[in-house]
Amino acid sequence: MFKFILSLSVLPFVLFLNLTAVPSGEPVAAKDTIIENKTSQESTNTVSTLKEKLHSNLTEQDVIDQFGQPDQKMKDDMYGLPTFRYDFKQDEHYALDADYQLVDMEALKNNQLEAIIYFDFDHNKNIRSAALYYVNDEEKIEEYRIFADGTEKKLVIE
């Protein structure tokens, strides 16, 4: 019991010593510091998170519940079925000016957009496919697509 009380009384003092600021002008040891490209890592995390949320059994309402209202609602050109577009912006001023389905590759390359997702639905408001567009580690635009039957495909576009 005495060791436990002693441990609890010493712990705040140790934490205080570890959190004490270094006076300016003195060098700081960086042996435990990991330097990483935050934007690349954050993009990778965002894309991974988005991929985890894409499932073949989503309904229109499931998509809205997970992602909110789409940035654009439209009908697909081939069948006239509903399509939702979601833009994951890095530039808050980005806006797509087109009324048609367009993968804005320039916005992805220029880091205005981190990712774009298109959800295509059938007549019963079930997902037909979901396509995620993003810039991969090799700085190429990649499409990750999942279909209603659970099939997944990856395609490097550009």
pLDDT in tens, 45-70: 888 999 999 989 999 999 999 999 99
Strand positions, DSSP E, 3-140: 72-75, 82-89, 113-121, 127-135
Asked, for residue 45, whether it belongs to a domain, the answer is yes
| Lowest-confidence pick of 18-27, 75-84, 96-105, 113-122 | 18-27
Q: Is residue 112 part of a domain?
A: yes
| pLDDT for the residue 92 | 85
Distance CA 15, CA 61 (A): 48
Q: Is residue 146 part of a domain?
A: yes
Q: In this predicted model, what pLDDT tens digit does every residue of 126-155 receive, in sequence order?
A: 999 999 999 999 999 999 999 999 999 999
Domain membership of residue 24 (yes or no) is no
Q: Report if residue 8 sits inside a domain.
A: no
Q: Is 4 a member of any domain?
A: no
Question: Per the confidence metrics, is the pTM higher than 0.85?
Answer: no
Of 27-36, 37-46, 66-75, 108-117, the poorest mean pLDDT is in: 27-36
Q: Count of domains in the chain?
A: 1
Is residue 46, in this structure, part of any structural domain at all? Answer: yes
SS3 of residue 119 by DSSP: strand
Residue 16 lies in a domain: no
Instruction: Read off the pLDDT band of 43 (50, 70, 90).
Output: low
In which domain, by residue range, is 89 found? 37-156
Alpha helices in 20-140 (DSSP H): 38-53, 60-67, 105-109
> Residue type at 156?
V
Enter the tokens of residue 64.
């809205």
